Chains A and B, each alone.
Chain A
Amino acid sequence: MAQWQGRLFLAPTIVILLLLTIFPFLFTLAMAFGKVSFEGGALKITVIGIKNWTRLIHDARFWNALVVTLKIVSLSVLCEYLLGLFLALLLNRRIRGRTFFRVIFLLPMMLAPIAVGYMWRMMLNDTRGPFNDFLRRLGFGAVGWLSDPNVAMYSIVLTDIWQWTPFMLLILLAGLQGIPRDYIEAAKVDGASGWKIFLYVIFPLLAPASIAAVFLRSVEAFKIIDIIYIMTGGGPGLVTESLTLYGYSVGLRAFDLAYGATISFSLFFVVLISSVLFFLFTRKVRQISLE
């Protein structure tokens, strides 16, 4: 078969990705080790070594953004997984109207995060939002959902959970439907209880789907900016400022492109390290589930 035809089919994708992902990636890497200036409208990058990186290490605002990002990712991904799994198990039962529920449950992840941010900002408004209204009616005091530095991050997490639990649900439900019914029937015949069937049959067989869902969702969650941009703008103070938001502010608002590139690159390393750790960890889990 003519090999060149296959290459022709593959070429556009490779070229576009090289041009708009790999090249910019290297470009940003160069900026992170340099200084960007415009001389008479012409772009110039001067290499200055690791100055940006030493600045990064001594930048308290960077460490804050890193911790905020890690907290938001771990907390929301954990909750999304547990909730998504629970709902997927319910939707996997043969009940009437499950198509209806499945479609409704998918809705949040299809909506623009900007709109979702505004929705929740209105819901969580101190005086006019339904959340504080419910609390008042139940006899509790009002909570400063977005204005209290101790709470604001959890409000962001809450919004993220609302929007992205459907994604976990989607993948886990597909995983559940791929489990042969015979296995579960066999366990039932052997007299296993519902809980035991879940623990020893369903959960191990679902491991690949679980790992995929958690991994994909985490990678996306690390990039969080839009919800924060709308709901708190990183505040109060800096308690909800994520790495992407900090990188954006430095790079394109303060127009310090080189340092913005350094911050962004640190996010890349964080994602990379987390992915490697995740795969090492899940390798063990996979072996255990096989034994």
Chain B
Amino acid sequence: MKGKMINLATYFVLIIWTMIVLFPIFWMVTTSFKEKLDVFLGPKYLPWVDFKPTVKWWVRIFTVERRELITPFINSLIVAGISSFFASLLGSMAAYALTRYKFRFGPMRNDDILLWIVSQRMMPPIITALAVFLMFRVTNLLDTHFGLILVYIAFNLPLSVWIMANFLSQIPQSIEEAALVDGASRAQAFFRVVVPMVLPSLSATFLLCFVFAWNEFLLALILTYSRAQTMPILIAMQHFQRGPQWWDISALSTLAVLPPIAITLGLQRYFIKGLIPIGK
């Protein structure tokens, strides 16, 4: 009886928190289907009950405003995709080296090197951003995909090294050692034996890097202005350029949160398992 009560209370709290989590998202999505009047005379809650939903803002986004929208969207895909690919690949290579070799750079051993890499993530990005802005200005990398990709690789590397070092230190080394004895080089052992074994965590790392790069704001704000502008910048500028057109802003924001939501929901099992070494 007591156990049942506790279970009921647990569900009650969990459902409340579910509603707290979902309501702001619900509000944004429904606002993108509201007429101007329904926004300004609001708040209107339920579609078909409180207001009649319209798809005209979505149609507008994909027709009239398509040209303004498509570049930032593709920029975001390219920049986040390529930078995450390299961040997870280079990061796992570094993690592999750190878990298989003994290094000594001056006083620094493997653990110190790992800590040094991971601690780069602690640095407030505004510090590097100001200098990178000048560096890119001098080297003509401002507002280029290449520049932003480079910066995002550096931005995500500490995370990917950290996650992958965790995994690579846990998998048994006997299989790759067998490959090495059979005459494979380290590179072959890594790409043919180790990578397939850790593919789930490697993909999860890639996706996490992707989400961070996709959502990143400050560096993109400072380092791009038109050609290489990303989605978050496009959305952030809406309010300044066109005033509070909440229906448009909501539609664009919905579009920007769709890929991360799809990644989280679609690959959740694999995603969470791939990132947390312990647990079920």
Contacts and interface: CB of A to CB of B under 8 A. Distances in A.
A223 B100 contact: no
B52 interface: no
Interface of A is mostly: helix
A267 B126 contact: yes
Nearest to A115: B253
Contact of B21 (A1, A31, A105, A265): A105
Contacts of B276: 170, 174, 177
Given A9-B93, A114-B217, A20 B128 contact: yes
A111 B261 contact: yes
Interface of B is mostly: helix
B20 A162 contact: yes
Contact of A12 (B94, B121, B138, B264): B94
The 5 A-B pairs with the shortest beta carbon distances in the complex, nearest first, are A6-B101, A24-B131, A27-B131, A9-B97, A20-B154
Interface residues of B, number: 94
Contacts of B106: none
A9 B96 contact: yes
Nearest to A42: B138
B75 to A, nearest CB: 14
A43 B232 contact: no
Contacts of B279: 173-174, 177-178
Contacts of A53: none
A130 B138 contact: no
A223 to B, nearest CB: 5
A248 B219 CA distance: 11
Interface in B87-109: 90-91, 93-94, 96-98, 100-101, 103
A290 interface: no
Contacts of B97: 6-7, 9-10
Nearest to A132: B43
A86 B18 CA distance: 14
Interface stretch (B56-64, B183-191, B198-206): B183-191
Contacts of B256: 112, 114-115
A76 interface: no
Given A6-B186, A107-B264, 9 more contacts: A12-B93, A17-B154, A90-B10, A110-B261, A122-B246, A129-B43, A229-B236, A252-B133, A261-B130
A7 B239 CA distance: 49
B49 interface: no
A30 to B, nearest CB: 9
A54 interface: no
7 contacts: A9-B94, A22-B120, A25-B128, A105-B18, A173-B279, A260-B130, A261-B127
Contacts, number: 261
B218 A122 contact: no
A13 B94 contact: yes
Interface in B224-271: 231-232, 235-236, 239, 246, 249-250, 253-254, 256-257, 260-261, 263-265, 268-269
Nearest to B15: A101
B120 A17 contact: yes
Nearest to B264: A110
Contacts of A183: none
Interface string A215-232: 000010011011001100
Given A13-B161, A17-B157, A112-B257, A257 B130 contact: yes
B278 A174 contact: yes
Contacts of A102: 268, 272
A281 B124 CA distance: 23
A118 B28 contact: yes
Nearest to B238: A118
Given A177-B278, A271-B122, A264 B24 contact: no
Nearest to B275: A170
A10 B127 contact: no
A28 B122 contact: no
Contacts of A1: 101, 186
Interface string A1-42: 111011101101110110111111101100100001000000
Contacts of A19: 154
